[in-house]
Amino acid sequence: MLKEVYWLGLKLIPELNNRLNRALECFGSPENIWKASIKELRGELGLSVDVAEGVIRQKNELCLDRELDKIRRAGVELLTISDPSYPGPLKEIHSPPPVLFIKGELIKSYEVAVAIVGSRKASSFGRTLASELAQNLSRCGITIVSGVARGIDSAAHRGALKEEGGTVGVLGCGLDIVYPPENKRLYLEIAERGSLISEQPLGMRALPQHFPARNRIISGLSLGVIVIEAPQKSGALITADFALEQGREVMAVPGNVKSSLSKGTHTLLKQGACLVESVDDVIEALNLNLKSIKGGISGKEELLSAQEKAVLTVLDWEPRHIDAIASEVGLTASQVASLLSVLEIKGFVKQDFGKRYLRI
């Protein structure tokens, strides 16, 4: 029987899955855990008679070959910590997940990955900022990691997918479950062009206790974590805490001082997190030898006219008045207004309020 089958079996039995790292220390291998007797399970893991008997009963009821075939038919790969393809940065953390379920292309560039996390109830400004930052980081070849949640997570994934860089979505449920359900299209696109990862087996629902464990994987895969819009009590701050424990860089984007969505990010900044206003700040904080893309032009933007590129280059996620844009590019306000209308139709910019525009 293949070794991975034993790993799968252990993940399907909650009483063993919840004690998997400890069980490995006690028994040495997944096969030994799987073949352990009631007496051995009680002696090594401290299970009660009822729990140990329940484990044996579940083992006897499982057909491991059928379960392995099920995940393969779902297009899911089972990756164990002993596999050479297991992400190196994740292996370094305390209590790394012994087993990962992966859907999509296994991204090899985990060593140059950055997590972007934040509020599920993000503002329009926060979502735009997350998308823009992720897109620009992706343009530099940096993999974007996030949790496929509503708000900042979804915006970060979508921004990364606008470029050729990869994105990794880490779920708190089985990979056969789309959560939240409205992200089905995003889920499919990440699976097609990046990776979806979970330590939960197929069929496992998104339960509250899964998300802190999910967050440690998000930070563990990354060189650093960027927090955008997080209230004082936020899952994003849990991810930042894990990042600190794991020796990762913690970064935060400042926000509106009167908004509750800025309380968590500003607390991080007061505690010493790196302040992020642009991609250059991220590259500097992580000491990456990457080309700055500030004002850069992506492959999709190469098709624009010279004047359209000039206008787009001076725009960022901070809205700018049309007069300021005109002054910087050396054109009249009416010329810039015409160019902005074209760029808006093409999906590169949007009007914020009044005569202010920002990139999207």
> What is the model's pLDDT at position 1?
46
The CATH classification number of 1-73 equals 1.10.150
Confidence of residue 359 (pLDDT cuts 50, 70, 90): confident
Instruction: Check whether 301 has a pLDDT greater than 70.
Output: no
**Tokens found for residue 209:** 């206790």
Instruction: Check whether 109 has a pLDDT greater than 70.
Output: no
Q: What is the mean pLDDT of residues 82-106?
A: 89
User: For the segment 21-66, what is each residue's pLDDT rounded down to a tens digit?
Assistant: 889 889 988 999 999 999 999 999 989 999 999 999 998 998 888 8
Exposure string of 280-295, with b = 16+ CB inside 10 Å and e = fewer, is ebbbebbebeeeebee
Specify the fold of 300-359: Arc Repressor Mutant, subunit A (1.10.10)
Confidence of residue 111 (pLDDT cuts 50, 70, 90): low
> What is the model's pLDDT at position 184?
96
Cβ neighbours of 68 (radius 10 Å): 18
Domain ranges of the chain: 1-73, 110-285, 300-359
Instruction: Check whether 179 has a pLDDT greater than 70.
Output: yes
- How open is the CA angle 216-239-129, to the nearest 5 degrees? 130
> What is the model's pLDDT at position 14?
86
> What is the model's pLDDT at position 294?
43
User: For the segment 208-233, what is each residue's pLDDT rounded down to a tens digit?
Assistant: 999 999 999 999 999 999 999 999 98
> What is the model's pLDDT at position 264?
95
> What is the model's pLDDT at position 295?
44
CA dihedral sign, ordered 39, 43, 49, 51? negative
Specify the fold of 110-285: Rossmann fold (3.40.50)
Exposure string of 341-357, with b = 16+ CB inside 10 Å and e = fewer, is eebeeeebbeebeebeb
Pairwise pLDDT comparison (295 vs 97), residue with the higher score: 97
Instruction: Check whether 95 has a pLDDT greater than 70.
Output: yes
> What is the model's pLDDT at position 188?
95
Contact 250, 218 (CB under 8 A): no
In single-letter form, the type of residue at position 172 comes to: G
Contact 58, 13 (CB under 8 A): yes
Q: Residue holding tokens 């995940």?
A: 71
> Mean pLDDT in the chain?
89
Instruction: Check whether 107 has a pLDDT greater than 70.
Output: no
Q: What is the mean pLDDT of residues 247-264?
A: 94
Cβ neighbours of 149 (radius 10 Å): 26
Q: Quick check: pTM over 0.85?
A: no
Instruction: Check whether 155 has a pLDDT greater than 60.
Output: yes
Q: Give the distance from CA 36 to its chain's centroid.
A: 37
Q: Is 257 exposed, middle or buried (0-12, 13-18, 19+ CB in 10 A)?
A: exposed
Confidence of residue 151 (pLDDT cuts 50, 70, 90): very high
